[in-house]
Amino acid sequence: AAAQSTLHIAIIPTPGLGHLIPLTELIKQLSRRHNFSFTFLVPTDGSSTESQTSLLQSLPASIAHAFLPPVDLSDIPAGSHLLIRVILTLTRSIPALRDSLTTLTGSTRLVALIFDVLGSPALDLAGEFRVPAYIFYTCSAMNLCSAFCLPKLDLMYSCEYRDLPEPVHFFPGCVPVQGVDMVDPVQDKKNEAYKRILDVAKQYHKAAGILVNSFLNLEPAPFEALMQNGDGIPPIYPVGPLVRTGLEHGLAGLGCCLRWLDKQPSGSVLFVSFGSGGTLSSDQLTELAFGLEISGQRFLWVVRNPNDMSLSAAYFDPQLCSDPLQFLPNGFLDRTGELGLVVPSWAPQVQILSHSSTGGFLTHCGWNSILESIVHGVPLIAWPLYAEQRMNSVEVTEDWKVALRVKPNEKGIVEREQIAGYVSRLIEGWEGKAMRERMKVLQGAAEAALGNDGSSSKSRNEIAHILMTEGKSHESLNKI
Ligand code: UDP
């Protein structure tokens, strides 16, 4: 009876720690302040679930989780776009999701489903259970603008977006974006991934609301455009920045990273990391190593095994590595031992960004990494690899001016002298200083948004109120 009296929400993430981490933060917030219970129903393709499991196990008792039976993806051609694997993992899990939701409705009072940014192909499930479906948009508001424009752009242009002579203006006031900087599944219209992302975008309007992991003062123009509710855009709730607070699965390297940082001068260290899934080619790894060495600056670098086929080789298993340090140039560790710390595969990013010795972050521009940098006031070197990271790079460099963006040569390699230049300019130069100051302003705005009367707290309370009311009306319906 106790379980029956609490309102229950089911959360359905798509693969990728970059989705699961902010989703768990949102749910922790809701569970702390409002009386709901939750179940994460996690679709999987059978690849390692270790990182997800340790994250989910660290959650409070009112937040349950269950992995759905692994789907079979053996028919997908090797080298298929990452997005296809992610979307098929979700859509092929729909029958199992339906079964789990049926079981949940037998034992709890289910009042809503929450999906992440790529969850829209399963939104119809909510209708079957007569509950509203919400999306937690784990990317920027700007990115959401681009998603709502995509069907229109698809009809307007027959060429590839990268061949457009002018940048695209998604909505008035949004920073213009070159076609080549739009999300990577739209970069090849003949690829199945393009059809899939278009399909994802076309279904967003079915959501009862979209919670965005961003805040009004960070992206005023994109939010204004979205909140005018034109073109069938559902209600938009800015609830961010929700960044990870727990230590879970950063623990391994924690002591060693923090002890090392403690010994470095304030603001002197560049943190180098490409998110949970990013990987570099062998040539690029070598170039980065020499770049850091030539710069003569202090660095803390999370190194992964290089991969010459994919920039997202670690996406389904971020901690997978044999011995990445063997791929570093000969003698690199000896030569840089005084100035650098190299950590294999995974580091406690939030703790590193919050340490006073950290003066800059060379990042792949995943949205969580950007939000974490804002929350801790750390300026950036933007080195986008895949997904929507190029578009995020445009915002940090051109809109907020808190980052230097790397320029690859015609072979796609960022060269060592260039890298050394970016690092010195960020850590020691006047540009870095100005960027740090602008980051501090964003940091203050983020704090304000999350304060008691802040815009994001208000949106979160509003959504909680709606869900509570939903639960009560459900109850009265059931009594009739
Ligand atoms: N992360 C971490 N340690 C690492 C790499 C990543 O703690 O070595 C965390 C990081 O703090 C962030 C998330 O993993 O919360 C990565 O999300 P992001 O959106 O930046 O990139 P993605 O992994 O989705 O590409």
Q: Pick 322 or 181 by higher pLDDT.
A: 181
Question: What CA–CA distance (Å, rounded) separates 216 from 220?
Answer: 5
Closest C-alpha residue for ligand 1 atom 24: 18
Atom 14, ligand 1: residue with shortest CA distance: 276
Residue 300 CA to residue 272 CA, distance in Å, equals 6
Q: Is the pLDDT of residue 478 over 90?
A: no
Q: Tell me, what DSSP letter sits at residue 76? A: S
Residue 7 has pLDDT above 70, yes or no: yes
CA 18–ligand 1 middle distance (angstroms):
6
Which has more pLDDT, 320 or 359? Answer: 359
Average pLDDT over residues 443-448: 98
Nearest-atom number in ligand 1 for the CA of 367 is: 19
- Cα dihedral 419/315/118/216 (nearest 10): -40
Q: Could you tell me if the ipTM is greater than 0.90?
A: yes
Q: How far apart are the first and last CA of the chain?
A: 20
DSSP-based three-state secondary structure for 411: coil
Calculate mean pLDDT across residues 290-302.
98
Q: How far is the CA of 275 from the centre of ligand 1 (A)?
A: 4
Instruction: Tell me the per-residue pLDDT of 19-69, one tens digit each, with 9 for 90 and over.
Output: 999 999 999 999 988 889 999 999 999 887 888 998 999 999 999 999 999
The rounded Å distance from CA 454 to ligand 1 centre is 26
Ligand 1 is surrounded, with C-beta below 6 A, by 16-18, 21, 244, 250, 273, 275-278, 302, 346-350, 366-369, 372
Q: Which atom of ligand 1 is nearest to the CA of 250?
A: 7
Average pLDDT over residues 365-388: 97
| Best residue for ligand 1 mutational test, from 248, 258, 361, 369 (most atoms within 8 Å of Cβ) | 369
Mutation test of ligand 1: which of 28, 368, 370, 385 has the most ligand atoms closer than 8 Å to its C-beta?
368
Q: Which atom of ligand 1 is nearest to the CA of 278?
A: 25
The average pLDDT across 220-248 equals: 89
Confidence of residue 2 (pLDDT cuts 50, 70, 90): very low
Q: What is the pLDDT of residues 247-276, one digit of tens each?
A: 655 556 678 999 999 999 999 999 999 998
Q: pLDDT at position 1, please?
A: 43
Atom of ligand 1 nearest to the CA of 370: 20
Centre of ligand 1 to C-alpha 300, Å, is 15
pLDDT for res 171: 92
Whether the predicted pLDDT of 157 surpasses 80: yes
> Lowest mean pLDDT: which of 67-71, 126-130, 344-348?
344-348
Q: Predicted confidence band at 381 (pLDDT cuts at 50, 70, 90)?
A: very high
Among candidates 446, 242, 447, 251, which has minimal Cα distance to 351? 251
Which ligand 1 atom sits closest to the C-alpha of 138? Answer: 19
* CA of 386, closest atom in ligand 1: 25
For 463, list phi and psi in degrees, rounded to 5.
-65, -40
Tell me the catalytic residues.
Answer: 19, 116
The residue among 265, 240, 171 whose CA lies nearest residue 442 is 240
Half-sphere exposure for 369 (CA within 13 Å, toward CB): 31
Q: How far apart are the CA of 346 and the centre of ligand 1, in A?
A: 9
Q: What is the pLDDT of residue 246?
A: 66
| 51 Cα–ligand 1 center, Å | 12
Ligand 1 centroid distance, CA of 194 (Å) = 25
Burial of 342 (0-12, 13-18, 19+ CB in 10 A): buried
* Residue nearest atom 11 in ligand 1 by C-alpha distance: 349
The Cβ of residue 474 has, within 10 Å, a number of other Cβ atoms equal to 16
| Residue whose pair of structure tokens reads 């829209």 in the numeric block | 120
Please give the distance, rounded to the nearest whole angstrom, from the Cα atom of residue 317 to the centre of ligand 1: 12
Residues in Cβ contact with 287 at an 8 Å cutoff, skipping those fewer than 6 apart: 413, 414, 415, 416, 419
Ligand 1 atom 23 nearest Cα: 276
Q: Tell me which of 86, 319, 349 to substitute to probe ligand 1's pocket, judged by most ligand atoms within 8 Å of the beta carbon.
A: 349
SS3 244: coil
Largest CA distance in the chain: 76
Show the beta-strand stretches assigned E in 279-388. Answer: 298-303, 340-344, 358-363, 380-382
